[in-house]
Structure 1
């Protein structure tokens, strides 16, 4: 009886397993590359993205052009704010570590850079974390929350701030004060003893972008600087893309979807929003200008810092 019971149990478990493909029925093959390239990236599965980024490494060997091509391959991707987190690595929220279907402005830039620098899905996912976190250490406290003093500085192996050089010695600047400990406690219920940081940030006034546009290059990182009540901060990011006519354009994710437009068009929309807010009596943010970060010519990706074992003190 014991043998019969074991056999019945084994039979029941086998019923839960994936059924084999019947003999003589071929497994479905991958979509031909020419058909895959008809899709936008946000319409692809991870398996298809794996093939696409491997293809792009050979199809477009110039990194700057590859960044622009991959970014344009996401035009139309729906915008979604508060998109990513550390789940399931951490439990402070339930947001996942990647999304292909949607993006916000930072996610779009990070995914585009990571795909352009990679040859496979595995390398892309590794590169994404290397870009998104200080030293690549995954965690809400090590995420690059603040553009000026986190993202820009921790990714100086990838991009270098050229805002002061573009604006000249008389260009505007602002002092930024960052209280990470309070931010992490109030926004993410995470306790960290981190001192307050102050920095001086230089930018180019919005009405001077046309003067320096010719100096911008494909793949450069764009920081949109906003102001309200005397304070200044980076409120939006995107990428520089060169149009067919040689004009420098702004490639970015903003509501409702990823788009490419001239800087003049972006500035005009910002001014229209400011005028609408004024008519409605709203104290909305105003466009002050831009910071520009040059994509480095010789990129050497630093190693990922080893992820510490949770609950164990670091070795002396």
Structure 2
């Protein structure tokens, strides 16, 4: 007769093993037809549907620049939420997730669009998203590309090249930046890192000169909106260049209340209206100074992820 401990051990071991599939188990739901998926905007797709759309788009449009425009436009109308993503559950400094399909802010919209355009599946998209979003693809709040000019643009040189100085010309304007990442991480994310202060000189195209250089922009290029207040300049917003039906350069971006496509002239005019309203109300709001432009590279070689280090105590 078997002893009770032996019987209990057998029960535990049996509980750890995968049981045979039940012959009465409910069959999985039939996949949604591709035609139905293609009728949806991306922000109304499930991850499974988005993965199928990414695969279809990659096969249907071999031109990366056109694929970026098509995927970006597939999200026109996507609702806007600022500060949307974080590192949860990999890190718990907040409860914000690593991706979002249903909402975006300006950076999330650009990152998701580039990542989808470079991918053939959901799994590759998620990998590519982290490669774009973090320095060397290493997930963590301290390795996230927080500062547009000195983090995002630099970390993604494999994807884009800053052509702002070239477009602005020898006498084009510039601004000095000073970035204290250690202070930012400590005050915004309760994260302590020993990172030295960095300074940099940045070139940009003034808003009044954009019409004159617009014809040099290409579909899929990256846009940094440069704002100023009290003598300081910074990239306050980002988006993508797409071509309109007549070849006119349009600005595709996520801003309150949703993703939209408009001409650069329209964006500049709306900024002027906002600034005039702030002046009437006595507010010291930010003002539009101009734009930085980053050229989508012709021969993109996606670098590998760096090893994900074991988290410290």
Matches within 5 A, 1:12-161: 27-161=28-162
Whole-angstrom CA distance in 1 between matches of 2:113 and 2:52: 15
Q: Under a length normalisation based on structure 2, what TM-score does the superposition of the two structures give?
A: 0.92
Structure 1, residues 208-256: CA drift from partner, whole Å, max 9, x if none? 1110111111100000000000000000000000011100000000000
Question: Distance in 2 between the 1:296 and 1:182 partners?
Answer: 33
Tell me by how many angstroms 1:111 deviates: 0.1
Equivalents in 1 of 2:312, 2:132: separation in Å?
25
For the 8 Å contact 1:21–1:27, the answer to whether it is kept is no
Partners of 1:282 and 1:182 lie apart in 2 by: 27
CA contact (8 A) 1:241 1:250 kept: yes
Contact 1:57–1:116 under 8 Å retained in 2: yes
Matched position secondary structure for 1:84: coil
Match of 1:292?
293
Show structure 2 runs of 5+ residues with no match: none
Aligned residues of 1:160 and 1:296 also touching (Cα < 8 A): yes
Match for residue 261 of structure 1?
A: 262
RMSD (CA atoms):
2.0
Runs of 4+ in 1 over 6 A off after TM superposition: none
CA distance in 1, matches of 2:183, 2:206: 31
Asked if 2 retains the 8 angstrom alpha-carbon contact of 1:92 and 1:189, the reply is: yes
C-alpha separation in 1, matches of 2:22 and 2:275: 61
Where structure 1 has 5 or more consecutive residues not aligned to the other structure, the ranges are none
CA contact (8 A) 1:224 1:237 kept: yes
The offset of 1:205, in angstroms, is: 0.4
Equivalent position SS for 2:223: strand
C-alpha separation between the residues in 2 aligned to 1:186 and 1:28?
Answer: 47
Match of 2:275 in 1: 274
Aligned equivalents of 2:86, 2:170: Cα separation in 1: 39
Q: Matched residue of 2:100: which SS?
A: coil
